[in-house]
Structure 1
Amino acid sequence: MALALVGLCLAAVIFLYFSNNPLNHSRKFMIRRFVNWFPLGMSYAFLYMGRYNLNVSKNALGDMMTKEQFGIIFAAGTITYGLSFLINGPIVDKIGGKKGIIIATLGSSIMNLLMGGATYLYLMGRLKTNMVVAFSILFAMNMFFQSYGAVSIIKVKAYWFHVRERGVFGAIFGTLISFGVYFAFDWGQAIVEASKLHIEGQMTAFQSFIQHIFAIDTGTTNATWLVFTIPAFILICWALIDMVLLKDSPQEANFGEFDTADASSDDDENVKITMGLVLKKVFSNPIMYTIALVDFTSGVLRNGIMQWYLVFAHEMKATDEAFYNASEFFVKNWGLLLCLTGIIGGFMAGMMSDRFFQSRRGPPAAINNVIMIFLLILMSIFLTKEPNIVGGCAILMTLAVIGVHSLMSGTAAADFGGKKMTATASGIVDGCVYLGSGIQSLAIGYLSAKSWHYWPLFLLPFSFLGLYLSLRMWNELPEATKKYILKQEQEAAKEQGKTLGSESPATN
Structure 2
Amino acid sequence: MYAVNMYFQSFGAVAIVKVNAPWFHVRERGVFGAIFGILISLGVYFAFDWSYKIISLFGQDPKLHDAPSRLTWVFAAPAGFLVVMWVLVALWVKNTPAEAGLKDFDTADASSGDEGPNLGAVQVIKLMFRNPIVMTIACVEFCSGFLRQAIMQWYRTFAKHTDGELGNMDSFVYENWGLLLCCAGILGGMVAGVISDHLFQSRRGPVASILYGGLVAGSIALLFAYKTSMVGWLAVLMSLFVIGVHGMLSGTASMDFGGKKNVGIVVGIIDGFVYAGTALMALTYGLLLPEEQLNDAGKIVGPSTEASNWLAWPAAMIPVAIIGLGLALRGWNAKPQPRKAAAS
Please report the TM-score for the alignment, with normalisation by the length of structure 2.
Answer: 0.89
Secondary structure at the counterpart of residue 449 of structure 1: coil
- Please report the RMSD computed on the Cα atoms of aligned residues, expressed in angstroms: 2.0
For residue 251 of structure 2, what is the aligned residue in structure 1? Answer: 410
Gaps of 5+ in 2: 292-308
- For 1:184-203, list aligned pairs within 5 A: 184-196=47-59
Residues 346 and 402 of structure 1 are in contact (CA less than 8 Å); yes or no, is this contact kept in structure 2?
Answer: yes
Matched, 1:309 2:155: yes
User: Which of 183, 187, 192 does residue 340 from structure 1 map onto?
Assistant: 183
Matched, 1:245 2:103: no
Displacement after TM superposition at 1:225 (Å): 2.3
The amino acid of 1:412's aligned partner reads A
Larger radius of gyration between Structure 1 and Structure 2: 1
Displacement after TM superposition at 1:482 (Å): 10
Secondary structure at the counterpart of residue 480 of structure 1: coil
Q: Structure 2 CA distance, aligned partners of 1:197 and 1:281?
A: 52
- For 1:131-280, list aligned pairs within 5 A: 138-196=1-59, 221=68, 223-267=70-114, 269-280=115-126
- For 1:374-453, list aligned pairs within 5 A: 374-384=217-227, 386-387=228-229, 389-449=230-290, 451-453=309-311
Displacement after TM superposition at 1:221 (Å): 4.3
Q: How many residues align?
A: 323
The amino acid of 2:271's aligned partner reads D
Displacement after TM superposition at 1:140 (Å): 0.4
For residue 324 of structure 2, what is the aligned residue in structure 1? Answer: 466
Matched, 1:368 2:214: no
User: What are the Cα deviations for residues 259-279 of structure 1, in whole angstroms up to 9, with x where unaligned?
Assistant: 111001132x23343223322
Q: Structure 2 CA distance, aligned partners of 1:425 and 1:280?
A: 11
Q: Structure 1 CA distance, aligned partners of 2:145 and 2:340?
A: 29
Q: Structure 1 CA distance, aligned partners of 2:136 and 2:61?
A: 52
Displacement after TM superposition at 1:241 (Å): 1.0
Q: Structure 2 CA distance, aligned partners of 1:356 and 1:198?
A: 48
Q: Structure 2 CA distance, aligned partners of 1:375 and 1:404?
A: 14
The amino acid of 1:393's aligned partner reads L
Displacement after TM superposition at 1:394 (Å): 0.1
The amino acid of 1:180's aligned partner reads G
Secondary structure at the counterpart of residue 266 of structure 1: coil
Matched, 1:454 2:301: no
The amino acid of 2:263's aligned partner reads T
Q: 1:313 to 1:419 in 2, by over 3 A?
A: same
Q: 1:304 to 1:236 in 2, by over 3 A?
A: same
Percent identity of equivalent pairs: 47
Q: Which has the higher contact order (CA 8 A, sep 6+)?
A: 2
Residues 296 and 435 of structure 1 are in contact (CA less than 8 Å); yes or no, is this contact kept in structure 2?
Answer: yes
Q: Structure 1 CA distance, aligned partners of 2:5 and 2:17?
A: 20
Displacement after TM superposition at 1:481 (Å): 9.9
Displacement after TM superposition at 1:483 (Å): 5.5
For residue 475 of structure 1, what is the aligned residue in structure 2? Answer: 333
Q: 1:174 to 1:221 in 2, by over 3 A?
A: closer
Residues 444 and 455 of structure 1 are in contact (CA less than 8 Å); yes or no, is this contact kept in structure 2?
Answer: yes
